Amino acid sequence: MVFNNAISWFELPTTDIERAQAFYEAIFDIKMIPLDNPNMKMRMFPVSSPMSISGALTYNTTFYKPSATDGPMIYLNANPDVQIILDRIPAAGGNILVPKTQISPEYGYMAVFTDTEGNRVALHSVPQQAQDNG
């Protein structure tokens, strides 16, 4: 089996979904989509099509627990430049753990932050020429 993309969906746990929604809407300049059901509250990142890779903020006190140190770390798309997103994080209530750092000229830049819920999350941006060639 070969994956076009290894990730198809992700969920970021929250302790206050409205606060987390405000944080991510502020740093990415987006409007999240509510997807609530009786067992869980969710706020989905907007996508261009139903088949696009995406994820959501989630709230369920018995199933999810935010963590700044444990579990997997996801990298969110910060194109065209990680620094644009990083500059918005402190004012939105998050903390920068790793500043903009070059991975390599062809693989771009990364950074790591904690969100308002205490989750450790990373950012990744690819240089424009690599995007054009990809």
Q: Domain 9-133 sits in which CATH superfamily?
A: 2,3-Dihydroxybiphenyl 1,2-Dioxygenase, domain 1 (3.10.180.10)
The ranges assigned to domains in the chain are: 9-133
Can you give the pTM of this predicted structure? 0.84
In this prediction, residue 127 has a pLDDT band, given cuts at 50, 70 and 90, of confident
Residue 122 is predicted with a pLDDT of 95
Residue-wise pLDDT for 58-73, tens only, equals: 999 888 889 988 888 8
- Among residues 34, 50, 53, 31, the alpha carbon closest in space to that of 42 is found at 34
Element housing 25 (H / E): helix 17-28
CB 14 within 8 A of CB 58: yes
